[in-house]
Amino acid sequence: MNVEGASALVAGGASGLGEATVRALHGAGASVVIADLNSERGTELAGELGERASFAEADVTDTDAVKAAVEAAAEAEGGLRVSICCAGVGWAQRVTGKQGPHDLDIYTKVISVNLIGTFNVLRLACEAMNDNEPGEDGERGVCVNTASIAAFDGQIGQAAYASSKAGVAGLTLPAARDMATRGIRVATIAPGTFDTPMLAALPQERRDALGAEIPFPSRLGEPHEFASLALEIVRNQMINGETIRLDGALRMPPR
């Protein structure tokens, strides 16, 4: 897929991994719709990037809001060819403990945003891409989702988060097979410990310790490294139906 001249949607694109991906796509010549709940930051980012960037306020679990964002990207020059979903939430709580069983409403919320929200973006983006004229290589679009190495190495207290991300990983191959005849690829990135706003509140000592746990490079991942892989997936037609770990060889211990 040629990024230049294409239209892209990035869900969760106002900060962290999503923001880095927005910047990378825009820098490569794509028109980008930034979909996010944070309207202040999303509008600011779109304004900073200027031409070929716009913001759409959207909760990934809200079908109407996601449809509107998808339509905005589909109507841009080049049509919607790239959809990347980085939206997600985290929560730490044991299945049961001193405070009783895991809060079911919170578990449902994590699954709703991380898994159902990802699927919501995927299904609506694929619907729009389905109407694209195929390129010379027969391709109509590419969807990249975000899991986590917690899908495979879930730690103590990560029952909700790990199961939501395992669902995203498990969704990848059947979705790719579903869309294969239409020339739409689906792949997933499973990042390890990255320097995102989620970790920004931690003391520097704790951040350094997290980086030191990674075999090599022994540091937190940088958002631009996630964005670089996302762009490579878009550009490399043979990457399809795969979940790629991006973790510096980290295998997370139980705690």
pLDDT at 77: 86
- 107 classed as catalytic: no
CATH of the domain at 65: 3.40.50.720
Q: Number of folded domains in the chain?
A: 1
Taking residues 181-201, report their average pLDDT: 92
Do the domain assignments include residue 251?
no
User: At residue 67, does pLDDT exceed 90?
Assistant: yes
Do the domain assignments include residue 44?
yes
Looking at per-residue confidence, does 53 or 205 come out higher? Answer: 53
Do the domain assignments include residue 145?
yes
In which domain, by residue range, is 68 found?
A: 7-246
For the stretch 115-154, pLDDT in tens is: 999 999 999 999 999 999 998 889 999 999 999 999 999 9
For the stretch 196-246, pLDDT in tens is: 887 877 788 888 899 999 999 999 999 999 999 999 999 999 999 999 999
Do the domain assignments include residue 101?
yes
Which residue, among 135, 147, 232, 249, has the nearest Cα to 189 in the 3D structure? 147
| Residue carrying the six token digits 């897929």 | 1
Lowest mean pLDDT among 17-26, 97-106, 115-124, 181-190: 97-106
Q: What is the pTM of this model?
A: 0.95
pLDDT at 26: 98
User: At residue 55, does pLDDT exceed 90?
Assistant: yes
Do the domain assignments include residue 208?
yes
Do the domain assignments include residue 255?
no
- Provide the percentage of residues in the chain whose pLDDT is more than 70: 100
Give CA separation, 167 vs 8, 73, 152, 170, 237, in Å.
Answer: 24, 26, 11, 5, 24
Catalytic residue (one of 161, 192, 193, 210): 161
Do the domain assignments include residue 84?
yes
Do the domain assignments include residue 252?
no
User: At residue 157, does pLDDT exceed 90?
Assistant: yes
